[in-house]
């Protein structure tokens, strides 16, 4: 085992002991919020904080439902080098005229929310109100897909990446990359311009695979899609190569240049993320845009299934003891949330949960075996639609009503975002296995339309009322409820 492994472990232990001592004064939960692009991470955090600070109606969140939640407020975050989650800016987007969805997560950020509450325990109530810090850590799910690279050599990663770019579903986005790869000799000279060109084409391939018309989950490296302040650095300027020979490559070859940068990426990008942020989480919610994958068809569903497996297998799961808290912290509660459930009638919400349960079945079983509590929910942190009924040909159809986003299409009609419309979204299949292979409602393929946020409701005393939601309180209860008793 390398010396650095022992050094990191010793440093982690010192930090964890410090965290444990701080928790004896004011308990703290580090709540990780992640998901692949466009899954609703920013909206979830904004809605959660807004509901708690504004006294939202949360019937399934025990502290609020029982009247024990006394106050919620933001405090300066403890990590000085981590960007702050821009809660105020995101809330301003949602309460603008017209309201807009906030920008997606593109980097790690953090927010400290403090809750003051009355304990359910008699002896604690005699001591006054209790406090709990919730450190919300927002990070792109694509970064999680990088963690398995720590165990892969450049040769192994290249072989897998090249194979995946030739998958039929990825071909439309990968043509230019494949043509360049076919003309590249890995044993050729270590040409900087050639390396940059190949890297750019590979990144374009990854971006293309995430386009709406394909709705595919991404493959690593995750920072290629969300580079942050590392954009343009040599550690992000590499690509897989197709080694058609087992012969070793010299130091001055293109292969060796790419290999060195791949290892630098693991050393300087992946390991610090795991050490400083990921390994310190106590609770986790993973947001999954299952409906977009359903729009993309069987290939997108298969790709999402693989991504979910790789993400969930990265977590240190299991129940915590004093020993593990100090030396090997584990995530003991996980919520898997199928987001944007407001695009469906409530009759299909349980079916959406069943589809997600099937997608993550093996990973869920593994986490539960280790002692983690894993829950699956269909959820909308902000509900953009309301339900209604429509009659067609003597039949009553359950519909949803909202403002489709500009450019959304239903049949031959394209929306401009200014008109509310009633839509029959179709029913999800009773058998979740059917969703993996594609299905139709009647004679039409199912397609789920995107909507703009609902109109905000100003309060007489200032500010805005919490937005309606679907099962946000249930997620809060799983993640936080046991720590507020």
- pLDDT tens, residue by residue, 418-455: 889 988 888 898 899 988 876 654 444 456 889 999 99
The answer to whether residue 315 is domain-embedded is yes
Whether residue 473 is found in the same domain as residue 333: yes
Whether residue 243 is found in the same domain as residue 158: yes
The answer to whether residue 456 is domain-embedded is no
Whether residue 54 is found in the same domain as residue 106: yes
Whether residue 16 is found in the same domain as residue 33: yes
At residue 400, does pLDDT exceed 90? yes
Cα–Cα separations (whole angstroms), residue 484 to 68, 69, 120, 393: 9, 9, 8, 52
Number of residues in the chain: 485
- Residue numbers of the domain that contains 62: 3-139+277-382+469-484
Q: Can you name the residues that pair with 113 across neighbouring β-strands?
A: 74, 134
CB neighbours of residue 104 within 10 Å: 15
Q: CA geometry: angle at 393 spanning 294 and 448, to 5°? A: 15
Residue 72, phi then psi, degrees to nearest 5 = -135, 135
Four-point Cα dihedral 470, 473, 476, 482, nearest 10: -150
Q: What are the structure tokens assigned to 27, written together? A: 């308990």
Q: Can you name the residues that pair with 395 across neighbouring β-strands?
A: 392
The answer to whether residue 85 is domain-embedded is yes
State the pLDDT confidence band at 371, using cuts at 50, 70 and 90. confident
What's the pLDDT tens digit per position in 169-207?
666 778 899 999 999 999 999 999 999 999 999 999 888
Whether residue 29 is found in the same domain as residue 94: yes
Domain termination residue (choose one: 221, 245, 269):
269
Domain termination residue (choose one: 241, 269, 297):
269
Whether residue 412 is found in the same domain as residue 264: no
Quote the CA–CA distance of 99 and 87 in Å, as a whole number.
15
State the pLDDT confidence band at 20, using cuts at 50, 70 and 90. very low
The answer to whether residue 451 is domain-embedded is no
Whether residue 370 is found in the same domain as residue 390: no
The answer to whether residue 464 is domain-embedded is no
Whether residue 434 is found in the same domain as residue 408: yes
Whether residue 131 is found in the same domain as residue 156: no
Domain CATH for 95:
3.40.50.300
Whether residue 370 is found in the same domain as residue 404: no
Query: How confident is the model over 96-125, as a mean pLDDT?
Result: 88
Whether residue 322 is found in the same domain as residue 337: yes
State the pLDDT confidence band at 217, using cuts at 50, 70 and 90. low
How high is the pLDDT of residue 439?
A: 62
The answer to whether residue 336 is domain-embedded is yes
State the first-to-last Cα distance of the chain, in angstroms, to the nearest integer. Answer: 43
């Amino acid at each position: 085992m390398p010396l650095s492994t022992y050094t990191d472990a010793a440093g982690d232990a010192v930090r964890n002991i410090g965290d444990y001592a701080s928790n004896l004064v004011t308990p703290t939960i580090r709540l990780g919020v992640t998901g692949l692009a466009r899954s609703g991470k920013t909206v979830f955090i904004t809605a959660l904080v807004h509901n708690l600070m504004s006294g939202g109606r949360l019937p399934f969140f025990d502290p609020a439902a029982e009247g024990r939640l006394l106050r919620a407020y933001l405090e300066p975050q403890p990590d000085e080098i981590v960007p702050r989650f821009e809660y105020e800016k995101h809330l301003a987007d949602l309460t603008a005229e017209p309201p807009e969805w906030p920008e997606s997560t593109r980097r790690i950020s953090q927010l400290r929310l403090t809750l003051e509450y009355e304990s359910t325990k008699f002896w604690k109530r005699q001591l006054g109100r209790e406090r709990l810090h919730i450190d919300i850590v927002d990070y792109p799910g694509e970064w999680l897909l990088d963690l398995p690279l720590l165990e892969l050599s450049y040769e192994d990663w290249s072989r897998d990446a090249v194979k995946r770019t030739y998958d039929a579903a990825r071909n439309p986005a990968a043509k230019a990359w494949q043509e360049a790869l076919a003309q590249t000799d890995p044993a050729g000279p270590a040409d900087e311009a050639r390396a940059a060109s190949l890297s750019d084409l590979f990144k374009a391939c990854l971006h293309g695979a995430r386009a709406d018309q394909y709705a595919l989950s991404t493959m690593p490296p995750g920072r290629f899609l969300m580079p942050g302040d590392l954009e343009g650095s040599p550690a992000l300027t590499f690509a897989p190569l197709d080694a058609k020979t087992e012969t070793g490559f010299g130091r001055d070859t293109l292969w060796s240049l790419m290999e060195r940068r791949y290892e630098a990426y693991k050393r300087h990008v992946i390991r610090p993320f795991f050490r400083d942020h990921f390994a310190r989480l106590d609770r986790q919610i993973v947001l999954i845009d299952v409906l977009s994958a359903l729009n993309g068809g069987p290939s997108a569903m298969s790709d999402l299934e693989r991504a979910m497996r790789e993400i969930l297998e990265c977590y240190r799961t299991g129940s915590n003891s004093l020993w593990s808290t100090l030396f090997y912290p584990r995530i003991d509660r996980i919520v898997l949330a199928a987001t944007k459930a407001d695009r469906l009638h409530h009759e299909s919400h349980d079916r959406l949960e069943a589809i997600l349960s099937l997608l993550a079945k093996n990973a869920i079983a593994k986490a539960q075996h280790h002692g983690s509590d894993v829950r699956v929910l269909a959820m909308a942190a902000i509900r953009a639609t309301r339900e209604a009924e429509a009659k067609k040909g003597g039949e009553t159809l359950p519909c949803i009503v909202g403002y489709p986003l500009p450019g959304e299409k239903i049949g031959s009609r394209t929306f401009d975002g200014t008109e509310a419309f009633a839509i029959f979204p179709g029913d999800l299949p009773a058998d979740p296995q059917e969703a993996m292979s594609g299905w139709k409602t009647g004679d039409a393929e199912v397609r789920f339309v995107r909507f703009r946020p609902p109109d905000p409701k100003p309060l007489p005393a200032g500010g805005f009322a919490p937005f309606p939601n679907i099962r946000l309180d249930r997620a809060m209860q799983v993640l936080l409820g046991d720590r507020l008793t």
